[in-house]
Chain A
């Protein structure tokens, strides 16, 4: 017993990730935390997407289940779990059964290397970014399997479209990533890294997020990645694989109930995964904004208040809407519920003001806040851009993004070489 406690405690003073320190207990704890956090994020995204899209289209969105539809995703999840699991008679049983699990596994395995903070990651691999790109590219296999095994025309066409799209945009994505990895080698030590934590530490050391490095080269690479990642996750405006007006629902037309919800889960967690790649490579990962302009101890303290302030802000919105609730007796339970939700958010915010907590949590907060910004962009794209035609999509991928990516890569390499040899030898 004492040995076990000692084993658990031995990690606490460490400055490494639990995977790198080789402590199995904390690895398991971190995996559980990341998994639950991700599931909660997907549930929250479900509600937010419907609400934000609705408000963009001047509708109300879900309003019935819970105050302002807050319990709608839970109701949806229960509905999906209770639904009958239908398998088409002519379907290829094994592949039909395995496909959703392949997609979900590929989407979740990626989070092993996502760095929420210098020590807040499950593990740190020295091939981190390569691992993320490789494993997330496996999800296309699941989609193809699902489309083929359904033995139906719409899913097959959807799967073909989606695989063609994902394979062609992966190239542009890879080139953009390489140009960011090149920038990591401009340290004093002169060696680059593929490790996710190493990439953020390189940005810290160079005192500059890679999106601003060699302006506008970093920005262009980031732009290429930002377009390619929307295409890679099959989201609007690149959602040809599931174009409702043409293919009913694309590759998951024949799926129902729990299996369909697995596809849904995988899609959203893949969105979070690619956003966190973008945040890590170009937006400085867990680093706080304005590290140079607003540096020094007072500014550090002000920025450490941000997590608490954010939650108090959400709590304030809740209370504001509680006051605005209709005073009719029918809405009493909803009003109480909303007030209770506000109280919970406010308490979380107050806990985050405790210095001991805020120091440990603020890197996670900044990372999640940046990823949340990307998630909002995804919804925004969906609300504003019309869907591309397939030939336009291919033209964009191969004739615009790919040459741009190559050009940025060459220019980044040349500028980096010039900087090292001529300007600052």
Chain B
């Protein structure tokens, strides 16, 4: 799933990106399966992989590929972006350090749904 996700944002060709996104969504469906949620996995395959992504591809194929290939994919602010994302992640860690999610679950706010 991670490989698929990375491919989505690094491929220059939008059709390749869309196909990598399909791989990502299928991998997500298999994660649902591993979590004993077959119905969600089935719906995921039908709706996302079978329905929405086909429409994505449909539109992308009508767009001129040559022009979009020449455009630059990343702007020059990606360094700032990475720093901001790291800072945000660190901030999240700071906030949740004293109250881990597991404790929160133990108090009964979140329940595992038996299948």
Is the Cβ of B19 less than 8 Å from the Cβ of A145? yes
Choose one: B13, B38, B49, B54; the contact of A144 (CB below 8 Å): B54
A23 to B39 Cα, complex, angstroms: 24
In the complex, the chain A residue whose C-beta lies closest to that of B45 is A134
Is the Cβ of B57 less than 8 Å from the Cβ of A144? yes
List of A residues within 8 angstroms of B50 by Cβ: 134, 137-138, 140-141, 170
Is the Cβ of B42 less than 8 Å from the Cβ of A148? no
Q: Could you count the A-B residue pairs with CB atoms below 8 Å apart for me: how many are there?
A: 64
- Interface mask (B50-62 → A, CB under 8 Å = 1, otherwise 0): 1101110110011
In the complex, the chain B residue whose C-beta lies closest to that of A131 is B42
List of A residues within 8 angstroms of B22 by Cβ: 141
Is the Cβ of B51 less than 8 Å from the Cβ of A127? no
Within 8 A of B (CB), among A59-93: 92
A118 CB to closest chain B CB (Å) equals: 21
Is A43 at the interface (CB under 8 A from chain B)? no
Is B46 at the interface (CB under 8 A from chain A)? yes
Within 8 A of B (CB), among A231-285: none
Is B43 at the interface (CB under 8 A from chain A)? yes
B95 CB to closest chain A CB (Å) equals: 39
A71 to B45 Cα, complex, angstroms: 40
Is the Cβ of B43 less than 8 Å from the Cβ of A130? yes
Is the Cβ of A137 less than 8 Å from the Cβ of B46? yes
Is the Cβ of B61 less than 8 Å from the Cβ of A140? no
- Interface mask (A142-164 → B, CB under 8 Å = 1, otherwise 0): 00110010000000100110011
Is B1 at the interface (CB under 8 A from chain A)? no
In the complex, the chain A residue whose C-beta lies closest to that of B40 is A127
A160 CB to closest chain B CB (Å) equals: 7
Choose one: A127, A144, A159; the contact of B42 (CB below 8 Å): A127
Given contacts A156-B61, A160-B61, contact A127 B54 (CB under 8 A): no
Is the Cβ of B58 less than 8 Å from the Cβ of A130? no
Is A325 at the interface (CB under 8 A from chain B)? no
A159 to B60 Cα, complex, angstroms: 13
Given contacts A145-B19, A160-B58, contact A130 B42 (CB under 8 A): yes
Q: A144-B61, A160-B61 are in contact. List 11 more A-B contacts (CB 8 A).
A: A95-B16, A130-B39, A134-B42, A134-B43, A134-B46, A138-B50, A141-B22, A145-B57, A166-B54, A167-B51, A167-B55
- Pick the 10 closest A-B CB pairs, nearest first: A137-B50, A134-B45, A130-B42, A134-B46, A127-B42, A127-B38, A144-B57, A148-B61, A134-B42, A163-B54
Q: Which A residues fall within an 8 A CB radius of B?
A: 92, 95, 125-127, 130-131, 133-135, 137-138, 140-141, 144-145, 148, 156, 159-160, 163-164, 166-167, 170
